[in-house]
């Protein structure tokens, strides 16, 4: 029996479900039956358990003997926990989660990473050179051809969707838009966030006006996103971001939005950085220059659709990853 272990805690199932269904289908293709569980009571020796955090892996290792564990690493937990902690807690959190990392990496039958940069990170940090891993980027969006509306490419409309948490670089995004509006006075920005008051304060402090700021329910987000030409995905040069593959990129591309992203996101820089309809910039001045260049030439919806379709036939291809992970599970069984 294969169990997908989701202990009681707050999950963003909207973001996770797409990914977990791929893992479930991959096992089912090998003749396995998968069941989601919130506790380990029914797990017995010989079972297989899929976990989505390193501490869950450590818990299974300590509580259940003789089971095979497959761990999905959504990010690098020690660095993330230390980033969000304060004072002496930074050291404690970093060490605690590094121990979970070590237990998970060596204790898992198979490891699922979100990027090549993540695999390199674990090799460098822990000297973990085992090849029992496969790679699938985080994504939760399929390409929607009806989102590639010619009209939206005729004017510089921008969208930011997310929180104003420090790691999401909302303040840097607003600084970038200030520079964009100086170069393109007709540029418009919409901010979709559930932290409306904090966002308003940051926008006002930057001296911007006529900025739409509102909370959009997750179910309505794709329909709203389709209206925009550009989308922000700016990140700082931090280990967290170097190994990440934020789902927001698949949302932007799938909705026909030209992403504005930082090349520090290693796998995006390698796999998507050379696309024509993309703004891959390490500084605000580079970002503004690339947008100005795109604005000088009218965009034909067929051209941008063709380029993004190629991405979804390879990098964001659901069927490809179902087969890849199914083969991986069969090998490490």
Q: Which of 217, 15, 27, 275 is nearest to 4 (CA)?
A: 27
Q: Using the 8-state DSSP alphabet, how is residue 131 labeled?
A: -
Q: Is 87 left (phi over 0), alpha (psi -120 to 50) or beta?
A: left
What pLDDT score was predicted for residue 167? 86
Q: Using the 8-state DSSP alphabet, how is residue 185 labeled?
A: T
Helix (H) or strand (E) run with residue 71 in it: strand 68-72
What pLDDT score was predicted for residue 269? 96
Q: From CA 248, how far away is CA 53, in angstroms rounded?
A: 20
What pLDDT score was predicted for residue 59? 95
**Ranges in the chain, pLDDT < 50:** none
Query: Which tens digits make up the pLDDT trace of 86-120?
Result: 888 999 999 999 999 999 999 999 999 999 999 99
Q: From CA 286, how far away is CA 10, in angstroms rounded?
A: 39
What pLDDT score was predicted for residue 219? 83
What pLDDT score was predicted for residue 155? 94
What pLDDT score was predicted for residue 215? 95
What pLDDT score was predicted for residue 188? 97
Q: What is the CB neighbour count within 10 angstroms for residue 5?
A: 20
Q: Is 161 helix (H, G, I), strand (E, B) or coil?
A: strand
């Amino acid at each position: 029996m294969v169990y997908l272990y989701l202990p009681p805690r707050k999950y963003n199932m909207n973001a996770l479900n797409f990914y977990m269904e791929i893992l479930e289908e991959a096992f089912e293709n090998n003749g396995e039956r998968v069941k989601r569980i919130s506790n380990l009571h029914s797990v017995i020796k010989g079972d297989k358990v899929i976990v989505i955090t390193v501490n869950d892996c450590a818990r299974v290792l300590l509580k259940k003997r003789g089971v095979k564990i497959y761990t999905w690493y959504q990010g690098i937990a020690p660095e993330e926990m230390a980033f969000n902690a304060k004072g002496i807690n930074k050291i404690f959190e970093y060490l605690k989660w590094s121990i979970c990392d070590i237990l998970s990496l060596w204790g898992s039958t198979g490891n699922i990473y979100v990027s090549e940069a993540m695999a390199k990170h674990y090799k460098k940090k822990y000297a973990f050179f085992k090849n029992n891993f496969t790679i699938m980027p985080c994504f939760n969006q399929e390409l929607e051809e009806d989102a590639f509306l010619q009209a939206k490419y005729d004017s510089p409309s921008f969208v930011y969707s997310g929180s104003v948490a420090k790691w999401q670089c909302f303040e840097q995004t607003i600084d970038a838009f200030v520079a964009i509006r100086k170069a393109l006075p007709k540029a418009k920005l919409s901010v979709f966030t559930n932290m409306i008051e904090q966002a308003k304060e940051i926008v006002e402090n930057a001296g911007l006006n006529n900025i739409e700021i509102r909370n959009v329910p997750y179910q309505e987000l794709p329909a709203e996103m389709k209206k925009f030409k550009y989308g922000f995905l700016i990140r700082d040069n931090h280990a967290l971001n170097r190994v990440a593959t934020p789902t927001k990129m698949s949302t932007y591309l799938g909705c026909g939005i030209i992403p504005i992203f930082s090349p520090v996101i290693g796998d995006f820089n390698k796999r998507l950085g050379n696309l024509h309809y993309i703004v891959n910039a390490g500084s605000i001045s580079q970002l503004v220059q690339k947008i100005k260049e795109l604005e000088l030439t009218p965009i034909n919806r067929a051209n941008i659709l063709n380029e993004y379709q190629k991405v979804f036939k390879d990098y964001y291809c659901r069927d490809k990853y179902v087969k890849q992970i199914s083969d991986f599970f069969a090998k490490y069984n």
